[in-house]
Amino acid sequence: MAEAVLGGSAEDVSIKEAGLRYEVDGEIATITLDRPEKRNAQTFATWSALARIGDDLPEQVRIVVVQGEGPSFSAGIDLRMFTPEGVPGQGSFSSVAQLDNVSFEQRIEQAQQGFLWLRRPEIVSIAAVHGHAIGAGFQLALACDLRIVADDVKFCMKEPALGLVPDLTGTKPLVDLVGTAKAIDICLTARFVDAQEAFRIGLAERVVSGAELTQAVRDKAAELLSTNRDAATATKRLLQGARGRTLEEQTAAERVEQAARIKALFAVS
């Protein structure tokens, strides 16, 4: 009973069946949300497949690009979850609502694993976002380190309008990027944020035309790959920890990372 309700079969679904494409080319991995006819709506199977990609990511990969096929990056969670029938093999919100809190939270935690690995220090993740990025789509873009967007982008945190909270790891990066007041404005109105506003408030690093998006992401990947791999990892670790540390703690962390770097670079064996 619990497995069916929890969507245990989502684990067994192939990457393709989960609505994704996945390619690795040297140091760059590209994940494409590939259900354009449904505007790349996401299911538990999508998140489970994303988590598996993260688990099996080849060690040589330094850049992960997340993009969407068709007119939208992603229209968010598959709306069949709101119907009594739900998504075949994965249940519905009404079936999941029967679960005890611990099981329910475990299920959400599994879904979150599909997003969290995109922040690993060893990689830089880039969301190439065009068209609609709604709900889970917005949160997937927020799960990435950088967002390069097309000028037709429309971000929307739709969850509160549907009676939900954003729970796919998006609330912290949103607040970190735009501040609490702007995050309240965006989430509690569920309004659309266009490309110019996204750039102005720090949600997007760069705005380009739709035709330029792929090349802009390639260029950024090449720039990121031009620095030393281990130094990039250590620096990302430092930057990620900076907000949670005092200046004294941060400078101590810098010393630790630098000692390791200089020993690695110059120690005589």
Where do contacts with ligand ACO occur on this chain (CB under 6 A)?
38-39, 41, 71-72, 75-79, 132, 134-136, 158-159, 162, 164
Position with the least CB separation from ligand ACO: 135
**Phi-psi category of residue 120: left, alpha or beta, with phi > 0 → left and psi -120 to 50 → alpha:** beta
Least separation in angstroms between CB 261 and ligand ACO: 41
User: What is the end-to-end Cα distance of the chain in Å, rounded?
Assistant: 59
| 162 vs 264 by CB, closer to ligand ACO | 162
What is the distance of C-alpha 124 from the center of its chain?
A: 11
Least separation in angstroms between CB 133 and ligand ACO: 9
Least separation in angstroms between CB 158 and ligand ACO: 4
| 62 vs 154 by CB, closer to ligand ACO | 154
DSSP code string of 48-95 = HHHHHHHHT--TT--EEEEEE-SS-SB--B-GGGGSSS-BTTTB-HHH
| 118 vs 134 by CB, closer to ligand ACO | 134
Please provide residue 113's backbone torsions phi and psi, each rounded to the nearest 5 degrees. -60, -25
| 30 vs 43 by CB, closer to ligand ACO | 43
Least separation in angstroms between CB 47 and ligand ACO: 11
Q: Cβ distance 22 to 31 under 8 Å?
A: yes
Least separation in angstroms between CB 121 and ligand ACO: 28
> What is the rounded CA–CA span in Å between residue 43 and residue 92?
10
Least separation in angstroms between CB 168 and ligand ACO: 7
Q: Cβ distance 23 to 4 under 8 Å?
A: no
- Can you tell me which residue has the tokens 């702007």? 182
> What is the rounded CA–CA span in Å between residue 15 and residue 148?
24
> What is the rounded CA–CA span in Å between residue 226 and residue 75?
34
| 167 vs 205 by CB, closer to ligand ACO | 167
